Amino acid sequence: MSAPLLVLEDIRKTYATGGGVAVEVLRGVSLTVEAGEFVAIVGSSGSGKSTLMNILGGLDRPTSGSYRVGGRDVSELEGDERAALRRDGFGFVFQHYHLIPGTSAQENVEMPGRYAGLPAALRESRAAALLGRLGLGERRHHRPNQLSGGQQQRVSIARALMNGAPVILADEPTGALDSASGAEVVALLRELAAEGRTIVLITHDRKVAEAADRVVEMRDGRIVSDSATDGGRRSRPAAPVSAAATAEHHTPASVWTSAGEAFTAALRSLGANGFRTALTLLGIVIGVASVIALLAIGEGAKRAVMARVGALGVNLVYVLAGSGDPRLPTTPLTEADGEAILRLPNVESVMPYLDMPVMVRYGNIDHRTSGLATSASLPLTHRWPVAAGSFFTTADERAGAAVAVLGHNVAKRLFPNGESPLGRHVQVNNIPFQVTGVMGQKGDLTGSQDTDDWVFVPLSTGVQRLVGKPDLQLILVSVHTVGRIAETRDAIGALMTKRHGQEDFQIRDVTARIRTATETQDTMTLLLGSAAVVTLLVGGIGVMNIMLVSVTERTREIGIRMAAGARTADIERQFLMEAALVAGLGGLVGVALGLASGALVGLFVMPVLFTATAIAGAVTSAVVTGLVFGLIPARRAARLDPVAALSSE
């Protein structure tokens, strides 16, 4: 013969009350329940019935004594093993139904199935079938507050049956019902007993207890009578529990299933407290929005600077005449300096630079602009192609030929009718120069000077005919390998110092300027970033706060889920996901706000550049913030004591 289903031996339960006084609520209860029995435990209020039921159902542990379920000692079980016992072994029915508010009857009934890992389709069909059987088919999608007490109690019975638990523990199931609904519930329990399920019905009402086959009476924490031992037992053959109802073992619900549920739960609690949530999330929203908007502004500024600086040529080293201190004597920069520099390693080309204001004229059109006396290497040094004709040559330079190359805009000004300037003679300061080429459009290089508004002439010609002095303002050096530009710069410096006997020049290169610009921008980004992190932290504290409130408000719900067999991890994950979702939602709103405000700045103030990395990073930080700050509330929820949680208001 197999072991009896439930065996309690000398169970004692002592509560420590305030002031160090211990109250013994159960004083040595011994009780054996066979599979298939319908037992009523009757007794006046305070006699210890609920305490006994909590121990029977694995919600609570006895202070001493042994409790065996199907021969297995469960009094010492901990945490998740206890949860598994509740999940597969017992279905609870409470006096106040304990349905999860705000979710439909169907969802309430399905809930234990989630923790048992039933596949969604099976869960759905089984819950629907149970509700249909209990006469609630029409009301499957009603919420608890849309149902009468009797209906709610039937939903809770359906929930108790969901995982096919062999034992139903009903604590005062009729206590809150009118007599007609109460009778219906008792009839239902009878029916379940008739199917072979084991029923433990707890009641203070003797008339209700009479429905059972066996009545156990309790008084002051002791069993004072038992119809089974008193000979009054109405024996009924124990039928096997139907196949569908035997506990099935499934893998725990997948992460996605729990994510789905957590999402719905999160939306529900958000919906219920929309305004409060919105206020709490403001930190995250503002944090994320500011990260996105400020980074976009920063990136926009950086790109503008880079574009401007980059257009000057990353491959260029500038050698400027004069030390920058007007009191020091200076030697002029000369073409010979350039030729010496050209012989240095990594130097690709050297371009002398001597500019002067000029007046150019063609026909009756006058144009006041800048002339640049330089060498034939300009197109190479500047990576600046000629659009029409060709640039003047080294031969022109040597010969001091009166030839000129026009900038794009100069050509347009002097030849407005689209006539080709090539071969024509233009007057530069009243001296005729033959046009050999027109430069391609380069755009605004420096931001201060229109690069396309130049007239280029050979250095020798410019010196002889336009300026009269061979002193260069600067020498532009282009290098072969940009990576070695610093080295080349130092070499030029050393060479020039040697040639001039002093440091009466300045050397610049664009990479240094880019580096400075980038460093400035990076510092800005870092500052903005830290401000955003602080905002996110504040937002995270907001999330923690709202989650702690949520845990407190939903303590009973947590108890209900634990009674249904939720593991510590299930509860923890639910609240963590809620926190992450709430924060993620804040993050998304923040993204929208950040994009909108960034776009406004872009439209009216300065260029902005949104980067996917910044947006993804901001949302990720929001979600991570939610997870980190949700951890404490989630832990708190998961560590609640089921009995205490269930009895919370």
By the rule CB under 6 A, 114 interacts with ligand ADP: no
Measured from the CB atom, the residue of 128 and 216 that comes closer to Mg ion is 216
Tell me which residue of 361, 45, 444, 332 sits closest to 205, measured CA to CA. 45
Give the per-residue contact string, 557-596, with Mg ion (x = CB under 5 A; - = no): ----------------------------------------
Q: Report d(CA 647, CA 111) in Å as an integer.
A: 20
Q: What binding mask, one character per residue, do residues 186-205 give for Mg ion by CB under 5 A, x or -?
A: --------------------
Q: Pick out residues in 120-149 that bind ligand ADP (CB under 6 A).
A: none
Count of residues near ligand ADP by CB under 6 A = 12
The separation between CA 524 and the C-alpha centre of its own chain, rounded to angstroms, equals 24
Cβ neighbours around 520 below 10 Å, total: 13
- Asked if 548 and 633 count as a contact pair (C-beta separation under 8 A), the reply is yes
Q: Give the C-alpha separation, 557 to 575, whole Å.
A: 12
Task: Considering the complex, state which of residue 45 and residue 145 has its C-beta at the smaller distance from ligand ADP.
Answer: 45
| Residue 285, helix vs strand vs coil | helix
Should residue 224 be labelled a site residue for ligand ADP when binding is judged by CB under 6 A? no
Q: Tally Cβ neighbours within 10 Å of residue 117.
A: 16
48-77 residues near ligand ADP, rule: CB under 6 A = 48-51
> In this structure, what token pair is assigned to residue 104?
């439909």
Q: Which single residue brings its beta carbon nearest to Mg ion?
A: 50
Nearest CA among 255, 264, 190 for reference residue 36: 190
Choose between 51 and 349: whose C-beta lies nearer to Mg ion.
Answer: 51
Q: Provide CB contacts within 8 A for 585, sequence distance 6+.
A: 270, 281
Give, as ranges, the residues between 600 and 639 that touch Mg ion (CB under 5 A).
none
Residue 48 binds which of ligand ADP, Mg ion, none (CB < 5-8 A, kind-dependent): ligand ADP
Residues 9-38 that bind ligand ADP (CB under 6 A): 15, 17, 23, 25
**Interaction between residue 43 and ligand ADP (CB under 6 A):** yes
Among 45, 145, 364, 448, binds ligand ADP (CB under 6 A): 45
Per-residue x/- track, 399-418, Mg ion (CB under 5 A): --------------------
Residue 199 has φ and ψ, to the nearest 5°, of -125, 130
Query: Which residue intervals of 195-312 are DSSP H helices?
Result: 206-209, 255-272, 274-311
Two tokens at 361? 């004229």
Strand 403-406 and strand 431-439: pairing? parallel
| Total residues binding Mg ion (CB under 5 A) | 1
Which residue has the closest beta carbon to ligand ADP?
A: 50
Partner from Mg ion, ligand ADP, none binding residue 163, C-beta < 5-8 Å depending on class = none
Of 47, 50, 346, 555, the one binding Mg ion (CB under 5 A) is: 50
- Looking at the Cβ atoms of 26 and 69, the one nearer to ligand ADP is 26
Question: Which residue's CB is nearer to ligand ADP, number 27 or number 424?
Answer: 27
3-state secondary structure 500-550: HCCCCEEEEEHHHHHHHHHHHHHHHHHHHHHHHHHHHHHHHHHHHHHHHHH
The site for Mg ion (CB under 5 A) is made up of 50
The site for ligand ADP (CB under 6 A) is made up of 15, 17, 23, 25, 43, 45-51
